[in-house]
Structure 1
Amino acid sequence: MNRTASALILLTLAGLGIGLTWLAQQQARPLIQEQREAIENRKLLDVLPPGQYQSRPLRLEAAQQAHSLLLSGTLMLKDGQPTAVVLQSRTQGYGGPLELMIGIGANGRLLGVKTLSHAETPGLGGKIADQGNRWLQHWLGKSRADTPDSDWSLKQDGGQFDQIAGATITSRAAVNAIHDALRYFDEHQAQLMGNAAHE
């Protein structure tokens, strides 16, 4: 076999390999996307009461808040009715960015908070990411209607909330981000919850 024939066979095999790889990627793409969406939906469900929900992404206006940045929002529907909004928030903790997932019911009450990522000190501010964190559970059911804006701070700052022991900056950042999310929801409730009616 001469060199030209060998080169042609090699190129044919390489082209066939590339073609089969491309075809496999095209066939796997919907499954990969479905799995990504399932993972994202599981994160959303972590801050909501148990149940079957449908989710719709929201476009957020004025995402920069006083103490945090709202990265994304999702309207959660139950039996086709808007029941909650889940906001992903980023604020500055002690060690770096602190990202929270914050669930808010249609009535403006806090349904759940979960830490998505942080750079806090293990054993101190890092406790904010512990599974079933009782400190974050403290706010469940709270709203701006029953907790005035002036009380949404740590006790040492004149507010009503305790801090995580040894993690004042982390605690302050989390309280501020949660308050920002509740304020944003209250100020934009009609457009956030009304999106389902207009689609």
Structure 2
Amino acid sequence: MKQLRGPALLLLLAILGIGATLWLQQATAPRIEAEQRALQAHRLLDLLPAGSYDNQPLDQPLPVAEVQLGNSRLLDGYLATRAGQPSAVLLRSQVNGYAGPIELLIAIDSHGRLLGSKTLSQDETPGLGARIGEHPNSWLQGFSGKSRNDPGDSAWALKKDNGQFDQIAGATITSRAVISALHDALRYFDEHRPQLLPGEPHE
């Protein structure tokens, strides 16, 4: 009988340990999920001006997943609203840079103006194109306030290509790719306003 008592005690302790671990996982899962969602929200929503929205944009996805544009691809998007009216859209875009895909987050207000953009992921050359991943990014900030037609289509290019914009030093291909992705997103917004801004009055 004493020989059985030791293994039985170990088995009981193992069961209790497993039970405690499972209970702890169940108890902490909602908090962990909430913290992960808060981190994601901060990462994706910091392009929107404070007070410009009062909803939870991540709970209002837009029907833009895997939309192929002229030079880039939309991965997904979200709608920001204030007092029930659309105030901005967030579009996650992917474009091919020099060393691989560049993933961008692009915020556009309800009038079609660029609120801001930032790089979510990239594999560009360190010290050159990889500077696109810096945040805040003064080069990307230079596009804020622009729209599909401001400047005109032909001006959405580098100065060396007879356009309006400077490039990141030593990163021509990266710069071209990002400019084309921003223009693609603004063009898509302009051409799909009714779908992107539901409930907004349109002429």
Give the TM-score, by structure 2 length. 0.88
Cα distance, 1:111 vs structure 2: 0.2
Q: Distance in 2 between matches of 1:101 and 1:195?
A: 24
Instruction: Between 155-164 and 96-105, report the one with greater CA deviation.
Output: 155-164
Alignment length, in residue pairs?
197
Q: Distance in 1 between matches of 2:65 and 2:98?
A: 28
Pair 1:5–1:130, CA change in 2 (3 A) = same
Counterpart of 1:124?
128
Give, as a single letter, the amino acid of the residue that structure 2 aligns with 1:187.
E
Coordinate RMSD, CA, aligned: 2.1
Counterpart of 1:90 (choices 81, 89, 94) is 94
Please tell me whether the aligned partners of residues 46 and 114 of structure 1 are also in contact (alpha carbons under 8 angstroms).
no
Counterpart of 2:174?
170
Give 4+ residue runs of structure 1 displaced > 6 Å after superposition: none
- Structure 2: 5+ residue runs without aligned partners? none
Please tell me whether the aligned partners of residues 46 and 112 of structure 1 are also in contact (alpha carbons under 8 angstroms).
no
Counterpart of 1:100?
104
Pair 1:68–1:2, CA change in 2 (3 A) = farther
Give, as a single letter, the amino acid of the residue that structure 1 aligns with 2:101.
P
Give the TM-score, by structure 1 length. 0.89
Q: Distance in 2 between matches of 1:144 and 1:132?
A: 23
Identity of aligned residues (%): 52
* Counterpart check, 1:65 vs 2:57: no
Q: Distance in 2 between matches of 1:126 and 1:5?
A: 64
Please tell me whether the aligned partners of residues 128 and 168 of structure 2 are also in contact (alpha carbons under 8 angstroms).
yes
Please tell me whether the aligned partners of residues 66 and 73 of structure 2 are also in contact (alpha carbons under 8 angstroms).
no
* Counterpart check, 1:47 vs 2:51: no
